[in-house]
Structure 1
Amino acid sequence: MESFGYSLVQVLASMLRLFSLMLVIYALLSWVITDPRHPVFRFLQSMVEPVLNPIRKVLPPMGGFDISIVAALMGIEILRSFLLY
């Protein structure tokens, strides 16, 4: 039964890593894509915005820079470190 718990932790950690990757790709595409209706961008937006919006309420953009993605990435890495260690 212990291996089931370990496997569950590994799956959760992998899902968090995937979400981190999605956040990074979303940030990069937001600088590059000229058409926000692009299907890939829309998919990523639908996945990450529900997480970023509450962070934006607490941390509004500073000097025109949206730091919600950085805060989300830091939070995910902290959560992953608790899960894996």
Structure 2
Amino acid sequence: MGYAIVWLVDIVITLMIWLIIASAILSWLFAFDVVNHRNRFVGQLAYFLDRATRPILDPLRRVIPSLGGIDITPIVAIIGLNFIRILFMRLASGPLIALLG
């Protein structure tokens, strides 16, 4: 059971990292008019990515100032999520696996 919880936490953090990367790439594609945001599929994809990444990025956007129109909050969020994943794997996974098996 402990292995499953450790695996699930690792997968959720990895998925959030990939969603943040996809959201950043899609925002660049919007900014440079590569994709049309009026396209139904692209609009739904952008809406999903925005809703999925907002709980992580919005608190960071309140703290980190804008650097001349460049949003660095995805980079900070990815570094923070990797830090949390490494910290969890090093500190909590061993006792969790030992406790739950």
TM-score range, shorter chain: 0.7 to 0.9
Q: How many residues align?
A: 82
Q: CA deviation at 1:51?
A: 1.4
Matches within 5 A, 1:1-85: 4-33=1-30, 34-35=36-37, 38-85=43-90
What amino acid does structure 2 have at the position aligned with 1:26?
Answer: S
Q: Which has the higher contact order (CA 8 A, sep 6+)?
A: 2
Query: What secondary structure sits across from 1:65 in the alignment?
Result: coil
What value does the CA root-mean-square deviation take over the aligned residues? 1.5
Distance of 1:70 and 1:64 partners within structure 2: 15
- Normalized against structure 1, the TM-score is what? 0.87
Please list every run of at least 4 consecutive aligned residues from structure 1 whose deviation after the TM superposition is greater than 3 angstroms. none
- TM-superposed deviation, 1:50: 2.1
Q: Secondary structure at the match of 2:70?
A: coil
Distance 2:54 2:66 in 1: 15
Q: Which has the larger radius of gyration?
A: 2
Normalising by structure 2, we get a TM-score of 0.74
What residue ranges of structure 2 are gaps of 5+ in the alignment? Answer: 31-35, 91-101
- Alpha-carbon shift at residue 6 of structure 1 (Å): 2.5
